[in-house]
Amino acid sequence: MILYDILDNKVFLEVIMKTSISNKKGFTLVELLVVISIIALLLAVMLPALSKAKEQARIIVCKSNLHNYVLASKMYLEANNQVFPNPAWSIYSRDSNTPQHPQKCHWHDAGVEPDGPLWPYLAAKNVHCCPTFAIVAKKIGPHKCRQPNGTLLNPPIPVEPQITYAMNGYLSPGDSKTNLVKDHGDMQMTKSTSVKHPSEIIFWAEENLWPIHRSNGDKMDVGKAVLDDTFFRPKISADSSYIATFHKAPANKLNDGFSNVLFVDGHVELKKAYNDKNLRNGGSDKSWTWATGRPGNPNFER
């Protein structure tokens, strides 16, 4: 009788276990929807934060790159009586400008080696291309490079970003083939000692790969010049060079972001390329101001 009771209890327990397992072998539809909703909510909260963290990390890398540039530039200046190199040929020499490897495509041409006068001081790996720039450049796709005679290269040079930064064209006397003082007059600062307010004058900056067309009622163009060499051409006109706008830019609004800017005194700041109010009033933009000081005041006296 006792043995029967035990066996009977075991059978009873097995029935309960099987029933319990059967009832718990899956979620109900409501439970599944709740779990999916929670996961979606968590992703919605976390993904933007992760994206911002990644972009902030890229900005830090870009700033670090520019710190390498200021160290190299200072060493060059010390070795050359404080005279700035020609911005157009500081990283790549004139000899590198060939029909197969035109200057305007050097920024993404892995087939040409940097050989300019600044390069011996700057020949460190992985400091010449901002990671944010590389992402944007690859999204834009193949670049339509032209030979010196104006004909398109066919096939085009693959987009393998090599360099992001351009040097202020108002810093340098030029070289034996280009007289920048003649081109810019008293605005030109030939030596580091010519810069009276180095904390306010651009040395190196990031540039965009596209013109900035921004409508402010009068449909004024912010800037038509793009990164096609290492010469930064700031001036009060629509064909001017402007610092980049791709850092911290809202989605699908790459013209509304910021650029890392290295100033002559060696500090790096995140700056906006232009001032909407000044553009509407027909005044100068920030890029011009940072390049030459105060427009109309070549000696930069306050």
Q: Which residues contact 42 (CB under 8 A, 6 or more apart)?
A: none
Nearest to 112 by CA among 138, 135, 80, 145: 145
- Quote the pLDDT of residue 142: 58
- Quote the pLDDT of residue 302: 38
- Quote the pLDDT of residue 24: 54
pTM above 0.85, yes or no: no
- Quote the pLDDT of residue 104: 86
- Quote the pLDDT of residue 73: 94
- Quote the pLDDT of residue 194: 87
The sheet with strand 268-272 has its strands ordered as: 231-232, 165-168, 202-206, 258-263, 268-272
Residue 25 structure tokens: 């072998």
- Quote the pLDDT of residue 118: 94
Query: Which pairing describes strands 165-168 and 231-232: parallel, antiparallel, or unpaired?
Result: parallel
Tens-digit pLDDT profile for residues 203-237 = 999 988 887 765 544 445 566 677 888 998 876 66
- Quote the pLDDT of residue 281: 42
In the chain, % helix, strand, coil (3-state, to 5) comes to 40, 15, 45
* φ, ψ at 270 (rounded to 5°): -90, 120
Tens-digit pLDDT profile for residues 161-191 = 899 999 998 899 988 898 988 887 777 889 9
- Quote the pLDDT of residue 15: 45
- Quote the pLDDT of residue 282: 44
* Cα–Cα distance for residue pair 257/272, rounded to 1 Å: 7
Counting as low any pLDDT under 70, the low residues of the chain are: 1-27, 44-51, 141-144, 146-148, 150, 213-224, 235-239, 275-302
Nearest to 67 by CA among 23, 17, 124: 124
Helix (H, G, I), strand (E, B) or coil at 115: coil
> Taking CA 259 as the corner, what is the angle to CA 105 and CA 301, rounded to the nearest 5 degrees?
105
Q: Which helix (H) or strand (E) segment is 212 a member of?
A: strand 212-213
* Cα–Cα distance for residue pair 177/20, rounded to 1 Å: 89
Is the CB of residue 204 less than 8 Å from the CB of residue 69? yes
* Cα–Cα distance for residue pair 6/91, rounded to 1 Å: 91
* Cα–Cα distance for residue pair 112/92, rounded to 1 Å: 9
- Quote the pLDDT of residue 298: 46
Residue 145 structure tokens: 């490079």
- Quote the pLDDT of residue 2: 43
